Structure 1
Amino acid sequence: MEIYLIRHTTPDIEYGTCYGFTDLDLAASFPEEAARAKQFLPVAPLEVYSSPLIRCSKLATFLFGEPFKTDARLKELNFGEWEMQRWDDLGENALQVWMNDYVHARIPGGESYEDLYQRSIAAFLEIVATGKNAAIVAHGGVIRAILSYVTNTPLEKSFDIRVEYGRVSKLLVTADKIEVAFFNQ
């Protein structure tokens, strides 16, 4: 079984803005970035799962057409009260408290990275259980969580896994293991 993890392309938002659950569109570079991602995908049909947010569903439509399945568990981290604020405006103390334990610390009105991990892995394991070749179009946090799970990387070290906009990673699933075939192509 093959599973392709595809991060959405560059969002249309000013650099330095905190966003996660916010439903943003994609930057003008979308067609070029999406076409680049498409070259790393097989021609054979895949079961397609996407975050319901437009930055993922738009890419899923471009790459695979419709219909495809959306799953709210594939959404990015919920930044709660921090959504759409500039990182610089959050205040050093608030940001530092979160950075000291971003795995477990919940953002006010939002969630922790552990929360995102639990929901993302639950969705991922359901997809694996189908036994069908699949594509997951999602966000950096979700893909990082899945790659952390597959590679047995502790969540505290998972931000060392860089997941670039519009990049594709491929997982191979056998009866006894899941391994990364290629990463961030």
Structure 2
Amino acid sequence: MSDFLLHLLRHGEPEGAGRLIGHSDALPTKAGIAACVDRARGVQMEVLLSSDLWRARRAGEAIGQATGLPLTTDARWRELDFGGWDGLLAAEIDSAALARFWDDPDGHPPPDGESWSGLTHRVAQAIDMLAARTTIVVTHAGAMRAAAAHLCGLDARQAWALDLPYASLLSLRIWRAPGARPTAQIVGLRA
């Protein structure tokens, strides 16, 4: 059985913060990029990945410049697709529909958006493709929660209970055995 560390770093504050920003993109602020670089400082890493969305990718590029590691992007690390709610403030969404989503994100996904199980499935595919090397992924809060759910057996409610502010770092030790689903333990959370 092999094990390795996976560090998941949420992108820094983007323009339009406070809105549901899923697959649409928002540029990161300079302060948001700097916060990610600061958070990554001193973190052991052999592999640097990021979501392909600019708010994560720009922070990944800055970390790559600081560490000398090449950056690889992977769209599977994107945020949940909020569909018709993308770009809206919570106050602009029907409160009953939003409450149903928060209560059961798989049974009541955003209109024309992605279900919780869809997000978890694509993040699980990205995790399964990782080499057993210490890796940092600059990603999004939803993808981080999906990774924790997949690796640690959390249900949606437990995963959504993780507070992951901008530039927070979730570290997991992953174990893989041939032919078995990977498992993990949360070994750090810095917010």
Aligned residue number for residue 21 of structure 1: 23
Shift of 1:31: 4.7
Map of 1:53 onto structure 2 = 53
Aligned to 1:156: 157
CA distance in 1, matches of 2:34, 2:160: 27
The 1:20–1:94 alpha-carbon spacing in structure 2 relative to 1, beyond 3 Å, is: same
Note closer, same or farther for the CA distance 1:104–1:71 as it changes in structure 2 (3 Å cut): farther
Query: In the alignment, which residue of structure 1 is the partner of 2:186?
Result: 180
Match of 2:119 among 98, 103, 116: 116
**Residue aligning to 1:34:** 36
Rate the CA distance shift 1:64–1:30 in 2: closer, same or farther, 3 A: same
Does the CA contact (< 8 Å) of 2:107 and 2:115 recur in 1?
A: yes
Q: Does 1:76 align with 2:82?
A: no
Q: Post-superposition shift, 1:120?
A: 0.8
- 2:9 and 2:36 in contact (8 A); partners too: no
1:141: Cα distance to partner? 0.4
Whether the 8 Å contact between 1:6 and 1:138 is mirrored in structure 2 is yes
- Root-mean-square deviation (CA, aligned residues, Å) is 2.0
TM-score, normalised to structure 1, is 0.86
Extract unaligned runs of 5+ from structure 2. 178-182
Among all aligned residue pairs of Structure 1 and Structure 2, give the percentage whose two residues are the same amino acid: 21
Distance 1:99 1:173, change over 3 A: closer
- Residue 175 and residue 106 in structure 1: after superposition, are their counterparts in 2 closer, same or farther (change >3 A)? closer
TM-score by length of 2: 0.84
Which amino acid is the alignment partner of residue 182 of structure 1? G
Aligned with 1:96 (options 79, 96, 99): 99
Gaps of 5+ in 1: none
1:168 aligns with 2:169: yes
For 1:134, give the aligned amino acid: T
Matched-pair contact (CA < 8 Å) for 1:104–1:114: no
Are the structure 2 counterparts of residues 60 and 94 from structure 1 closer, same or farther at C-alpha, using a change threshold of 3 Å?
A: same
Cα 1:32/1:131, change in 2 over 3 Å: closer
Q: Which amino acid aligns with 1:61?
A: E
Distance 1:95 1:171, change over 3 A: closer
Aligned residues: 180
Structure 1 segments, 4+ long, off by >4 Å, are none
After superposition, the Cα gap between the structure-2 partners of 1:90 and 1:133, relative to the gap in structure 1 and judged at 3 Å, is: same
Give distance in 2, aligned partners of 1:102 and 1:171: 24
